[in-house]
Amino acid sequence: MSARDPFYVGWLPMPRPLVGFLAVVAGAMLGASAVLAVALVTAQGDWRDASFQWGEGYRTLTGVLRVEPYPVLYLPPDTENPRGRAVPLSGEGKRGVRDRAAALDGRAVDAGGFILRAGDREMLQVGGEVDLRPAMDAAALDGFAGPDAEAVGPRTLRGEIVDSKCYLGAMRPGQGKTHKLCANLCLVGGISPMFVVYRSDGPPELLLLADPAGGPVTGALLDDTARYVELSGIVERRADLLVFKVDPASLRPL
């Protein structure tokens, strides 16, 4: 190196020839970073329009609570929902509400909290002033005692096991391999598992999972969340909710 070559020393002014060189390198790196950022964003999947509905504010719903297989509030039929409406319940964070819902099983209750929504499926994150309590005005249900289970029949379906809270809007993405650990934490905490059957000709179909006896099935599924799998069992309808009573031994990775 000749004595005339520029040399950078941290405590001395930058040699003029190096200023131009570093400007070119820095500009190239910033440009490459911008291109990479755009590429990553455009390559992301469609995570659907699913989110907390904070703009709707705190909601209080009155219906009949059923705890099995997981806590769901059933609202009476109306013009828009002639079968009635099913609203799965969750606690705040990665927690279910089974412990405090058990004493109210089968009763008319008020449930207060914030709505999560994906498509036409809603969940209520329970908490706040109302939380879960016996209905203050059970007469408003006009004698509604909850839906009867309607048999749909045996089915073998292909889809993905997800935790319902994240999928319905608490997290984006709330599905796929990148979400597996989060999904399992939610399921272990008591959030209900759902089976998402993807369709090329329309929105996914969501089914609440249960064991063959109609009880919780979480523990048997944790190894297979966020995977595309095949499950066999019996489907039944409760209001506008499909319940998939599966035999975990039927699970087959695809």
What token pair was written down for 13? Answer: 């002014």
In what helix (H) or strand (E) does residue 59 lie, and over which residues does it extend? strand 59-66
66: phi then psi, degrees, rounded to nearest 5:
-120, 135
pLDDT tier, 96 (very low <50, low <70, confident <90, very high otherwise):
very high
- pLDDT tops 80 at residue 190: yes
Asked if 204 and 194 touch (Cβ cutoff 8 Å), the reply is no
What is the percent of the chain where pLDDT is above 70? 95
Provide the phi-psi class of 144: left if phi over 0, else alpha when psi is between -120 and 50, else beta. Answer: beta
- pLDDT tops 80 at residue 38: yes
- What is the average per-residue pLDDT within 65-79? 97
* Ordered structural domains, the chain, with CATH: 50-141 (2.40.50), 150-253 (2.40.50)
Residue 21: predicted pLDDT: 81
- Poorest-pLDDT segment among 34-38, 53-57, 84-88: 34-38
Residue 50: predicted pLDDT: 85
**CA-to-CA separations, 70 to 26, 29, 131, 230, in angstroms, rounded:** 55, 52, 17, 22
pLDDT in tens, 197-254: 999 888 899 999 999 999 999 999 999 999 999 999 999 999 999 999 999 999 999 9
- pTM of the shown model: 0.83
pLDDT in tens, 146-181: 999 999 999 999 999 999 999 999 987 888 888 999
Asked if 91 and 190 touch (Cβ cutoff 8 Å), the reply is yes
CB environment 70-83: b (16+ within 10 A), e (fewer): bbbbbbbeeeeeee
